[in-house]
Amino acid sequence: MRIFGKLAAARRTGAKAKQSEQKLPSPPCIDDVAFWYIINRCNALTVSNPGYYNELWSLLSNVDDAGVAGFAVKVGQIKRLLRSWDNWAAANLIFPGFQQEAHDGFQNWIISSGKETCLRAVEHADNIAEAIHAAGHRELVFADFDKVAAEILSQRSGCEQLLAAIKKDSTETIFPGEHWKLTEQNFEVRLPKLSAMILQDTNSSGEAKHQILH
């Protein structure tokens, strides 16, 4: 009988834990003006991803807990808008044979490049070519961009629920939109600007892609 009693207690504990998970508060998403102000300021003050990371950390360190969590929520929302087959194909064109982690970092880079660049990439993946032209010395994969908010909150006391609420699953590999074969011909038809930038010289010299990415 004691065993059954322990099982019942374990079930009750599990049910309470489930209820607790369901009741996690949804952190408020900061408004567009505040979000893009932070992004634009980082862009204006830095010319590299490490410099950008440090500036973003400095700016968010002066924001309250809800605001930091709200920044993370906004990043997640925009990344979902960028999650499309065309954007996945564009990343494949730029980074042949890349993994999911590279696509996640590439999405981070698009967002970190600013509102206009990001919205145009959401509108059509081929517009990413314009962003690459303006990238300067910044690498096109920004792995740590979406980690800053969580890292700041993890150093503050009493933010456990906020951290749990903004936790994202970055392993999803299903992308909406028409799935087309990633062939050179399809790239040239569907992503003409990006294809012209990436493919125009690689067929003859193999150097164009290296020059673009570095």
pLDDT digits (tens, 9 = 90+) for 116-130: 999 999 999 999 998
What percent of the chain clears pLDDT 70, i.e. is strictly above it?
Answer: 76
Domain boundaries, the chain: 26-213
Amino acid at 128: I
CA distance 172 to 189: 27
Residue 167, both tokens? 């936790």
Q: Which of 26-35, 58-67, 113-122, 141-150 has the lowest mean pLDDT?
A: 26-35
CA distance 193 to 150: 36
Q: Would you say 162 and 153 are in contact if contact means Cβ atoms under 8 Å apart? A: yes
Amino acid 189: pLDDT:
94
